[in-house]
Structures are given as C-alpha cells and as structure tokens.
A and B are shown apart, each in its own frame.
Chain A
Amino acid sequence: MTEATDLAERAGDRDPRIGLRAVSALRRLLEQLEAVQVRSARNQGWSWQEIAAELGVSRQAVHKKYGRQ
C-alpha cells in the first residue's frame, strides 16, 4: 500500500506526459498480472468468492471479468 502511494507521489512530480504514461502502463501491467493470478487461482481450484475476497472486489465483478466459459 505504501509502495503504491510512493509510486503515485513520484509519478506526480515528473513531466506530466511521462507520469501519465507511467500510470497508464502500470494500469495495463496490472491488468495482465491480475489475469495471470486469477487464472492460476482458478486452476488451483479457488472459488470466485475466494478470489474476489483477496482482490478486494465483489464476486460478481471478478466473475463478470474472467468467468467466461
């Protein structure tokens, strides 16, 4: 958490173009990492509820995003 705050602060004191690009890239990287981890959890038999709890979002949100059969 403090790490993310730290990143956000440092992103703020740069050239806005670089800072914004970094934020956008970080968001895309985050999406990719989330997909990898959710897939891994599902392969290990985790329920959507368990995954959602770890991610701090609703079960419906995770299922809607990754629950395609």
Chain B
Amino acid sequence: MFERFTKDARAVVIGAIEHAERAGEERVDEPHVLLALLDREGSRAAFALAALGLTGQREAVVRDLAEARRRGGLSRADTDALAGLGVDVAEIVSRIEEAHGEGVLAAGRQGGARRSGRRPFTRGAKDLLTMSLRTALAHDDRHIGDEHLLLALTARPGVPAEVLADHGVTHESIERVLWGKGETKAG
C-alpha cells in the first residue's frame, strides 16, 4: 500500500512516528498523524487546513489533543456517553492525578523501554491508513496523498476528528475546499 503514497503522505506517516517517539509513546496513534499533518507545508492537506483557517490555530489544536491525552485519550463523545452512566471522567482523572501524578493517564500506554526499533501502529492508526486508500479510490485518485489521510481522519470517530471539528475542519469542509463538493449546500 505504501508504494501508492505520495511524498507528502509518506512524510506524514514518518512525522507521526517521530511525534510518537518524541512523546515517548510506545505506539503510533491517530493523534500523532494529526500532529504530523499540522507540520506539513505546501501539500494538499496544508492547503486545505490553511483554507479552513487552521494555520493560526495550530497551538490550540495541539493543546486540545494534549488535553484529550490527559483524559486517557477519551473523546468528548466518550466522556459524554460515560456521563450518561454517571461516570464523571474529569473527577476520575483528577483523583488519579492526585494520587499518581499529573498526566499519569496520558502515560497509560507508554512503554518507556522502546528506545529504538520499529514503533507499532495502533489498530486505529492502521485502519486510518486503510481508510485513506479507500478515500483516494472514492475520489478516483491513483495515489494516496496527505489530503486523503486528513479526510480519513475526519471521517473516523475519535479525538482527532472532534478536535478538528471544534476548529471548523470537518469531512464536509475539506471536501468543499479540495474537491468543490457541497457548495450548493454550504452556500
């Protein structure tokens, strides 16, 4: 599949691995892919993000992702669903941090020992790559570009899609700026 990735898409995958390494995390997950997408310049994804006004909001996006990590990677939809059961995630996070230190839930999946060698991708991150292929096929594109990775990210439920949506970047808005779809609906 990787032979079909454009240079930009490969750079995003490599960037995601680097973000995971830098954070000391054992696995490469979908938020790392988003962070890598935010690093791109001059690519199709970078164009879409800039067109949707995300350029100046990079820090805010990074902060939102970090906040979700602190909740153990649970999205707002997750915490809302749990609130429906009477489970107060914020309360749990605060008690656990009180006892075990700040950001301890974010470290939940850290290995610490994996300093070298290949970092495995989470199932979600693997599914994301597969979905980017399907996204490219759906647009009759021969190659998988970073815009397909971005689009696939917004199509999957979870923290990255929620954070992007909070900043006005949704599946529909990307389709609109890159493929001119849904203009009548938007206008």
Contact = CB atoms under 8 A, between A and B. Distances in A.
Given A21-B78, A25-B74, A28-B72, A40 B84 contact: no
Question: Does more than half of chain A's interface fall in helix, strand or loop, or is it mixed?
Answer: helix
Interface in B50-97: 72-74, 77-79, 81-82, 84-87, 89, 92, 96
Contact of B108 (A14, A21, A31): A31
A32 B108 contact: yes
Interface residues of A, number: 21
A33 B96 contact: yes
A7 B77 CA distance: 18
Nearest to B92: A29
A69 B113 contact: yes
B100 A26 contact: no
A52 interface: no
Given A10-B85, A22-B85, 20 more contacts: A7-B86, A10-B86, A11-B85, A21-B81, A22-B78, A25-B79, A26-B85, A26-B87, A28-B73, A28-B78, A29-B74, A29-B87, A32-B73, A33-B96, A33-B108, A36-B96, A36-B100, A36-B104, A36-B107, A36-B108
Interface of A: 7, 10-11, 14, 18-19, 21-22, 24-26, 28-29, 31-33, 35-36, 40, 68-69
Interface of B: 72-74, 77-79, 81-82, 84-87, 89, 92, 96, 100, 104-105, 107-109, 111, 113
